[in-house]
Amino acid sequence: MRVLFVTGNQNKVTEASGILSPLGFAIEQLLIGGQVPDLIEPQAEGIEEIAKSKLEQAVSLTMGTEFENEVLLVEDSGLFIDSLSGFPGPYSSFVKETIGLSGVLSLMSEETDRGAEFRAVAAVSFRGSILTSTGICRGVISENISGDFGFGYDPIFIPEEANGRTCAQLSSHEKSAISHRGFALKGVSELLNPPSK
Ligand code: IMP
């Protein structure tokens, strides 16, 4: 089944393809007229509302185009730090672009509670319905920036299952097996393709 991923983030496309291709899905980035569709990010508290809103916008934009009846996928994600009451959460992209990883580590410099989690909500349009699935990856914020792989906050996030390594020190296969995106997308694959009973 072909799934068109609505995102400008090539890292997300690569990760989604690695997770969903072995499950029988062909992941392609949605380009309309050769461009990533310009979606408005709503000022919402939760990543689920953001994902659904973006998916509804994408469905509207594809009406009357060759993509009208295709399965569309939107994924919204973020880093939620316990001691900062879930900050940066829905503002993760903005915070990464402004204060950066070193800025986040500075906010945490005196903090002993370093618990945090990545969350992802994947939303797909399928036969006129919107289906969603959530994934969570628990871990801690590292003391230092480490690792060269991945993107975003990967160099400062140590998942519980990673033996002290940051996400940026994991192979893409290792990361996807335990990541918020991995769980959310596997959930979506089951909604699209429920196992026969
Ligand atoms: P989104 O594009 O609105 O979903 O923004 C998510 C932001 O959260 C990204 O730009 C990253 O900064 C961060 N983020 C989400 N998932 C990951 C991940 O798997 N690794 C590292 N950072 C992530």
Q: What ranges do the domains of the chain cover? A: 2-192
Whose C-alpha lies nearest to ligand 1, atom 17?
152
Res. 195: pLDDT tops 80: no
List strands edge to edge, sheet with 71-81.
Answer: 26-29, 2-5, 71-81, 115-126, 129-141, 157-159
pLDDT computed for residue 43 by the predictor = 80
Given a contact cutoff of 8 angstroms between Cβ atoms, the answer to whether 182 and 19 are in contact is yes
Confidence category of residue 196, pLDDT binned at 50, 70, 90: low
Tokens 């392609």 sit on residue: 28
Top CATH class of 2-192 equals alpha beta
Res. 197: pLDDT tops 80: no
Tokens of 38: 């310009």
How far does the centroid of ligand 1 lie from the alpha carbon of residue 142, in Å? 17
Confidence category of residue 44, pLDDT binned at 50, 70, 90: confident
Q: Which residues line ligand 1 (CB under 6 A)?
A: 9, 76-79, 92-93, 96, 118, 150-154, 167, 179, 181
CA quadruple 189, 17, 129, 188: dihedral sign? positive
How far does the centroid of ligand 1 lie from the alpha carbon of residue 195, in Å? 30
3-state secondary structure the chain: CEEEECCCCHHHHHHHHHHHHHHCCEEEECCECCECCCCCCCCCCCHHHHHHHHHHHHHHHHCCCCCCCCEEEEEEEEEEEHHHCCCEHHHHHHHHHHCHHHHHHHHCCCCCCCEEEEEEEEEEEECCEEEEEEEEEEEEECCCCCCCCCCCCHHHEEEHHHCCCCHHHCCHHHHHHHCHHHHHHHHHHHHHCCCCC
How far does the centroid of ligand 1 lie from the alpha carbon of residue 68, in Å? 28
